Structure formats: C-alpha cells, structure tokens
Amino acid sequence: MRRRVLGLVAVLTTIVAAAGCGSSDSGAGGSSSSGGDRTTRVKVGIIPIVDVAPLYLGQKKGFFGSRGIELDMVSAQGGAAIIPGVVSGQFQFGFSNTTSLMVAQVKGVPVRSVVNGAASNGKVGGDVTGVGVSKDSPIKSAADLAGHTVAVNTLQNIGDTTVRESVRVAGGDPSEVEFVEIPFDQMPAALDGGRVDAAWMGEPAMTIAKGQGARVVASPFAETDPKLTVATYFTSAQLAERDPGLVKRFAEAMTESLKYATGHPDEARQVLSTYTKIDGDVLAKLTLPGWPADVDMASLEKLAGLGERDGLFGDEKPDLEALFS
C-alpha cells in the first residue's frame, strides 16, 4: 500500500512540473458571449456520489449561470485521481476528500480549497458513509473488522484512515484490517458475492447494499468527528492567482448551492437521478450528508492527526490554514 502512495506522489510531482509550463490564458474551458454577457465554461472533476448533489442542483437553479459560469462535470473514481487533473489544467475545479488534499499539499502540489463540499451528518449508524457487511457475516462491530478484508474506493486515504479510527475506538486492532481498492459502484456486488468481508460505502452504494441485506457495523466519519468536513471543492494555485474573479464567483455560487440543498433535501435527492443510475426506491431511502457552508477546522485537525498516525504525510505536516482558509 505504501508503494501506491509513492506512485501517486510521483504522478502528482510530474504534473506539478508540467503545470508550471502551462499557457497564460484564463485556464477556463472557454468563454462565449451572447448579448454582451460573457459566460465562462469550466470543467469540474467530481465523484458521482450523493455528496456532489448541491453542485448539480445549483446548476439547475441557475446559481452558476447567474454568475456567468457554465459547468461541465467530469466523473472520476476518487479525489486522488481528480487532483492531477486540476493541477494540469484538465479541470478548473475539482471535488476531493480533505485527506487527498492534505497529502497533495505536503508533497508540494499547488492546490487550494475554495469552498466547502460535504460533511458527516453526525449520525452513528445513519451517516452518509458506513462499513457494511453481509447479513450472515460474523462481524458485529468495528472491532470485529480486524483480521478481515474491507473495500475502500482509494487506498491510504480518508476511507481507510477513518475506518481504522472506528476499529481503534471500538477496541480492535486497526493494523490487522486488510484494505482492498474497489470503486464505490462495484462494492455492493463485491460484498454480496463474498469478494470482501466488508465494504466502506458512500451513497447510493450503501442503500443498494442494504437492499441486498447488508448490515452497517461502523460509521467512520461520524465516529471520527460528528462535524467532520469530508470534502471540499478546490482549484490550482495557478488558477487562483491568475483568475481570482472566477474562483470567487464559483465559490459564491457553490455556497448558495450548499445552503439551498440543505434547505431543500427533496430537491437534492431528485437531482441525483440526473447523474447517477438510481431507481425510485433507492432514491427515497438513501442517506444525505451534511452540506454546511463552512469547513470545520477542528475536525480537519483531527483528521490530519490520524493521517500523520497512518504515515500518509511522511515527515511533513499539512498546513491546514493555508490549504482550507
């Protein structure tokens, strides 16, 4: 697993060097004018999970269009895969979990968080992510995960770090958990087919797995911190310096989108059908995350401490104020 982190660092380092040789244009996907109004097209790298519903809802409600932004969302497997795309200029903004951003920063990758993305809803047993096991599994609690295989979407990242914390808090030995990497949308089948003993799933994968009989034995985000800031939207330092106006407009539109989604959860659920293949029964049952407008720095400090404990940052420590403020 250590080799995977080093491999990611090598890729990110190469991209940083390439980004330094980029063009001097605005960095956006393009612009067009109609009736004197200038519209900037931007690509946003996202993970097709429930967490990004406010982005799509904000697009639908016109919060971005009213600020002259036309969105083009591009899916990826995880935040660690989106970061290189943002730094290289493939995307102007990206959605990433906060651990991936910390890992990138300590390795010298020039990224900056610009607005909040998603948070734990704080409900143990009913959070937006959870560790599921098959209905006849002998695993009854997080402590029992020791000695078993657990699927996560990206190795050595926010998933296994917070799962280890759940195991630790429950009195188990986190070093005895074996993690394997599987995309979220493949986890219900992997769990149901016995390919893994447990799976750390987000929505809608968790609700789908529950429909197959899965039981939730841990809620790693809520058990790590009930106010855990899970993910944010970010950009490259280059774009932030070259086009601060675009960054400001994107952040303002996203903040309005987060607030609207929080106040209109039914609309947030419905917009999921525009970018995921979710049937009506799953849509009605899935769990929503928290969508606060601001990051919770105390929770990020705790997450950073867990990352240090797991050796994710090497000899460095992430500068949370520089990255998230």
Does 78 or 277 have the greater pLDDT score?
277
Kindly state the average pLDDT of the residues 77-92: 87
205 and 233 share one domain: no
Is 32 a residue whose pLDDT tops 70? Answer: no
145 and 220 share one domain: yes
Looking at 208, 224, 240, the residue that finishes a domain is 224
Is 306 a residue whose pLDDT tops 90? Answer: yes
281 and 184 share one domain: no
Give the total number of structural domains in the chain: 2
250 and 113 share one domain: yes
274 and 213 share one domain: no
Q: What is the pLDDT of residue 62?
A: 98
7 and 116 share one domain: yes
- Taking CA atoms, 142 is separated from 109, 134, 173, 184, in Å, by 34, 14, 10, 20
181 and 318 share one domain: no
Which of 292, 236, 262 is closest to 114 using CA atoms? 236
CATH classification at residue 140: 3.40.190.10
- Taking CA atoms, 29 is separated from 12, 40, 241, 250, 289, in Å, by 21, 7, 17, 14, 30
7 and 100 share one domain: yes
16 and 87 share one domain: yes
Of 23-27, 48-52, 148-152, 312-316, which range is least confident? 23-27
139 and 211 share one domain: yes
Name the one residue in this structure whose structure tokens are 């059908």.
273
Is 271 a residue whose pLDDT tops 50? Answer: yes
Which of 91, 105, 69 is closest to 235 using CA atoms? 91
Type of residue found at 2: R
Q: Which domain holds residue 206?
A: 130-224
116 and 234 share one domain: yes
Assigned domain for 125 exists: no
162 and 295 share one domain: no
DSSP 8-state symbol, 290: B
Who contacts 27 (Cβ-Cβ below 8 Å, separation ≥6)? 89, 92, 236, 238, 239, 242, 243, 246
Helix (H, G, I), strand (E, B) or coil at 61: helix
Q: What is the pTM of this model?
A: 0.86
What confidence tens digit (pLDDT) does each residue in 185-239 have?
A: 899 999 999 999 999 999 889 999 999 999 999 999 999 999 999 999 999 999 9
Is 139 a residue whose pLDDT tops 60? Answer: yes
Who contacts 189 (Cβ-Cβ below 8 Å, separation ≥6)? none
User: Is residue 32 classed exposed, middle or buried when 0-12, 13-18 and 19+ CB atoms within 10 A define those classes?
Assistant: exposed
Q: What percent of the chain has pLDDT over 90?
A: 76
